[in-house]
Copies of this chain bind each other. A is one copy, B any other.
Amino acid sequence: MPEELLIRNVRPAGGGSADVLVRDGRIAAIGAIEASAGAAELDGGGRLLLPGLVEAHTHLDKTFWGMSWRKHGAGPRLIDRIENERRNRRALDLDPDRQSGRLVAQLLTMGTTHVRSHVDVDTEVGLAGIEGVMAMRDRLKAIIEVEIVAFPQSGLLIRPGTLELLDRALALGTEVVGGLDPCAVDRDPKGHLDAIFGLAGKYGRPIDVHLHERGEMGAFSLDLILERVRALGMQGKVTVSHGFCLGMPDAGHARRLIEGLAKERVAVMTTASASSPVPPVKECIEAGVVVCAGSDGIRDSWNPYGRGDMLERAMLIGLRNNFRRDEEIELALDVCTYGGAKAMGLQGYGLSIGCVADLLLVPGETLAEAVVSRSADRTVIKRGRIVARPGALTEPVA
């Protein structure tokens, strides 16, 4: 007998009420559906049905989630935060397996079914973070999908030995090659980018580069990235995270960069930071750029904020981009669903028949209202199985 779940009376993507039949983890039918003998049933109560939310950029390995509150004392600069974190990590007892497990449980409760996490690799922590998050990923793979980026948080070339560690992380099965501010942190943009594109070529893996660099410096680094994507045929395999330079004052220059991203099919990840220049979401999407979103650090030594809620992230995208019309707010939600799925190359994502049944039920008259209200009443389904009911997972995770 196939395993079946019949979801009664939901409104897929905000449309009219329908029943949705899930069979063997995939959407098998949508419409008015007769009860079948073996199927479990879930009453949707007229709630919206969304595809699972996609957290396309976080740092699971170093969150304080579930630990006691830790006073934030880092200085204001990027390098202050990097140094502060590395200095404190030893004293913090941040077990990456345990901490990443705590945070994915929260993400899942809020409706996220797919996560891309950057995980620190450096000459102090070595591969401990990668191994810890991999252990969590394997342990919880039935309820949430986690993709790992090997991330040189403390710099790549400025910390000899880090490149070899990234290489080993990829050999272990890390899915994505990470990079970080080729000019500002690594002081050698050509060297940095040649190194990470080299690793990507060696292992046949995609790339996700943190690019906080602003203005003309960031634009220079981005140009160097685009050159390599073009030369190496890496179209559709590269994400630029943050991309603050796309919010530079020179709108004409930003426009040319956005066109370059669209041409080389480089995705952009935004947190919609309220205190930094940010990629203009609507302009990027209209130009054909894939835009995804993430929380970035959640309750860690970088960032005290965050509840792991990608509906809240959609709201923050809306607020940052001055989205007020319904179709604009829906665009912000798209970034947190389909945009993330495209950037991560997820197969079978969505609400069509045949798609994997990774689903979120949430109240709301419309998609825009779901973003605005951010109700805590969330039911989450992973491959056809109910994994979270309002406020809690259906089964405890260790």
**A318 touches which one: B273, B305, B321 (CB < 8 A)?**
B305
Kindly state the separation between the CA atoms of A376 and B274 in the bound complex, as whole angstroms. Answer: 24
Q: Are B365 and A68 in contact (CB under 8 A)?
A: yes
**A274 touches which one: B72, B73, B319, B372 (CB < 8 A)?**
B319
Contacts of A324 in B (CB 8 A): 72, 74, 302-304
Q: Are B372 and A305 in contact (CB under 8 A)?
A: yes
* Centre residue among A68, A69, A368 by max chain B CB count within 10 A: A69
Determine if A272 is an interface residue (Cβ-Cβ < 8 Å).
yes
Q: Nearest-CB distance from A284 to chain B (Å)?
A: 16
Given contacts A72-B325, A325-B74, A365-B69, A274 and B315 within 8 Å (CB-CB): no
Query: Chain A 253-281 against B: per-residue CB contact (8 Å), 1 yes, 0 no?
Result: 00000000000000000001111100000
By the criterion of a CB under 8 Å from any partner CB, how many residues of chain A are at the interface?
A: 39
Q: Nearest-CB distance from A254 to chain B (Å)?
A: 16
Kindly state the separation between the CA atoms of A272 and B365 in the bound complex, as whole angstroms. Answer: 28
Q: Are B322 and A72 in contact (CB under 8 A)?
A: no
Question: A residues 306-364 with Cβ under 8 Å of B?
Answer: 306-307, 315-316, 318-322, 324-326, 329, 364
A interface, by DSSP: helix, strand, loop or mixed?
A: loop
Tell me the A residues contacting B by CB distance below 8 Å: 68-69, 71-74, 76, 272-276, 299, 302-307, 315-316, 318-322, 324-326, 329, 364-366, 368-369, 372-374, 376
New A-B contacts (13) at CB < 8 Å, excluding given A71-B326, A72-B368: A69-B366, A71-B366, A76-B322, A272-B274, A273-B319, A274-B316, A275-B319, A275-B320, A275-B322, A276-B322, A304-B326, A304-B329, A376-B376
